[in-house]
A and B are shown apart, each in its own frame.
Chain A
Amino acid sequence: MKGSAKIGVWQLCCVLLLSRLLSTLTFSPVGAERINSSDYFPSVIFAAMMILLFSVPLILQKHYFPGKDIADVAYTVSPLLSKATGISYVLCFSFFTLVAVARLEMFVGTIVFPDSDSALFIILCIAAACYAATLGLEAIGRVGTISLVLFTGAFAFIMMAMADKVETVNLSPVFYDGVEPSLTAALDAATRTVELAFAAVLLPRANGKAGRAFAVCLLAFTCFAELILFFVFAGLGDFAQTQMFPVHAVAVLSEFSVFRRFDVLLTGVWILSAFIKISLLLYLQSEMLQKVFSRKWNKLYVLLAGLLILVIQVFLAGTVTDYYFTAGLAARAGLYIAFVVLVPSMVIAAALIKRKRGHQHAQSE
Chain B
Amino acid sequence: MWNWLKKEENRVTRSIPPDEPPTRVYAEIEKNILYMKEKLGASFDILYKQTYIGKNKAFLIMDDGMCDNLLVTQQVVGPIMEMRDIPDDPSEQMAYIRDRISSGIDQKENYSLDDAVTDVVSGLVILFIDGVPFCEAFGVQGFPKRAIDNAQTEVQERGAQEAFVESFKDNVALIRRRVRSPVARFELQELGATSKTRVCICYFADRTDRQMIDEVKSRLKKAKLDMVLGAGYLRPFLESDVTAIFTSVGTTERPDIACAEMAEGRAVILVDGTPFAMIVPYLFTENFQSMDDYNHRPYYALFIRVLKFFSFLISVFLPGLYVAVCTFHQEILPVSMLYDTAVQESITPLPVMAEAIFIHFLYEIVREAGLRMPKSVGHAVSIVGALVIGDTAVSAGLIAAPMLIVVAMTAISSFVVSKIYYPVSVLRFAFMIIGGLAGFYGIVLGFGVVLFNMCAVTAYGTPYVAPFAPMHLGALWRDSFWRLGWKTLGKRELQIHSLEK
Contact between A113 and B448 (Cβ–Cβ < 8 Å)? no
The answer to whether A112 has its CB under 8 Å from any CB of chain B is yes
Min CB distance, B458 to chain A, in Å? 7
Q: Which of these binds chain A: B27-35, B384-392, B434-442?
A: B434-442
The answer to whether A181 has its CB under 8 Å from any CB of chain B is no
A215-237 contact mask (Cβ, 8 Å, vs B): 1 or 0: 00000000000000000000000
Contact between A139 and B445 (Cβ–Cβ < 8 Å)? no
Contact between B501 and A3 (Cβ–Cβ < 8 Å)? yes
List the B side residues contacting A276 at CB < 8 Å: 448
Min CB distance, A268 to chain B, in Å? 5
For the residues of A in contact with B, the DSSP-based class is helix
List the B side residues contacting A261 at CB < 8 Å: 331-332
CB-nearest residue of chain A to B461: A1
The answer to whether A84 has its CB under 8 Å from any CB of chain B is no
List the A side residues contacting B331 at CB < 8 Å: 261
Min CB distance, A21 to chain B, in Å? 16
CB contact between B440 and one of A131, A136, A268 (< 8 Å): that residue: A268
- On whether A142 and B470 interact (CB within 8 A), knowing A8-B501, A279-B452, the answer reads yes
B469-480 contact mask (Cβ, 8 Å, vs A): 1 or 0: 111000000000
A1 and B340 CA atoms in complex are apart in Å by 57
Q: Which of these binds chain B: A120-128, A161-169, A321-329, A331-339?
A: A120-128
A1-29 contact mask (Cβ, 8 Å, vs B): 1 or 0: 11100111011000000000000000000
- On whether A125 and B439 interact (CB within 8 A), knowing A8-B470, A261-B331, the answer reads no
The answer to whether A132 has its CB under 8 Å from any CB of chain B is yes
Contact between A125 and B445 (Cβ–Cβ < 8 Å)? yes
The tally of residues in B whose CB lies under 8 Å from a CB in A reads: 37
Contact between B448 and A267 (Cβ–Cβ < 8 Å)? no
A197-218 contact mask (Cβ, 8 Å, vs B): 1 or 0: 0000000000000000000000
List the B side residues contacting A11 at CB < 8 Å: 469-470
B441-483 contact mask (Cβ, 8 Å, vs A): 1 or 0: 1101111110111011010110101001111000000000000
The answer to whether B21 has its CB under 8 Å from any CB of chain A is no
Contact between B440 and A139 (Cβ–Cβ < 8 Å)? no
Contact between B448 and A132 (Cβ–Cβ < 8 Å)? yes
A125 and B449 CA atoms in complex are apart in Å by 10
Residues in A101-116 with C-beta less than 8 Å from chain B = 108, 112-113
List the B side residues contacting A342 at CB < 8 Å: none
- On whether A138 and B442 interact (CB within 8 A), knowing A128-B448, A143-B448, A143-B451, the answer reads no
The answer to whether A80 has its CB under 8 Å from any CB of chain B is no
The answer to whether B111 has its CB under 8 Å from any CB of chain A is no
Contact between A121 and B332 (Cβ–Cβ < 8 Å)? no
CB-nearest residue of chain B to A115: B328
Min CB distance, B310 to chain A, in Å? 15
The answer to whether A156 has its CB under 8 Å from any CB of chain B is no
List the B side residues contacting A7 at CB < 8 Å: 470, 501
List the B side residues contacting A121 at CB < 8 Å: 438, 441-442
List the A side residues contacting B441 at CB < 8 Å: 108, 112-113, 121, 267, 271
A2 and B331 CA atoms in complex are apart in Å by 49
The answer to whether A264 has its CB under 8 Å from any CB of chain B is yes
Contact between A275 and B448 (Cβ–Cβ < 8 Å)? yes
Min CB distance, B328 to chain A, in Å? 7
The answer to whether B179 has its CB under 8 Å from any CB of chain A is no
Min CB distance, A90 to chain B, in Å? 23
A346 and B465 CA atoms in complex are apart in Å by 41
List the B side residues contacting A142 at CB < 8 Å: 455, 463, 465, 469-470
CB contact between B438 and one of A3, A124, A258, A260 (< 8 Å): that residue: A124
Contact between B460 and A1 (Cβ–Cβ < 8 Å)? yes
A249-266 contact mask (Cβ, 8 Å, vs B): 1 or 0: 000000000101100100
Q: Knowing that A3-B501, A128-B446, A146-B451 are A-B contacts, what are 17 other residue pairs whose CB atoms are under 8 Å apart, sorted by A's residue number?
A: A1-B211, A8-B501, A108-B441, A112-B440, A128-B448, A131-B452, A138-B455, A138-B456, A139-B455, A141-B470, A142-B469, A143-B455, A146-B455, A146-B468, A260-B334, A271-B445, A272-B448
A–B complex contacts, Cβ < 8 Å, 9 sampled: A3-B461, A3-B501, A10-B470, A121-B442, A131-B452, A132-B448, A138-B463, A141-B469, A146-B465
Residues on B lying within 8 angstroms of A by beta carbon are 209, 211-212, 215, 328-329, 331-332, 334, 437-442, 444-449, 451-453, 455-456, 458, 460-461, 463, 465, 468-471, 500-501
Closest 6 pairs (CB-CB, A-B): A142-B469, A142-B455, A139-B456, A135-B456, A145-B469, A1-B461
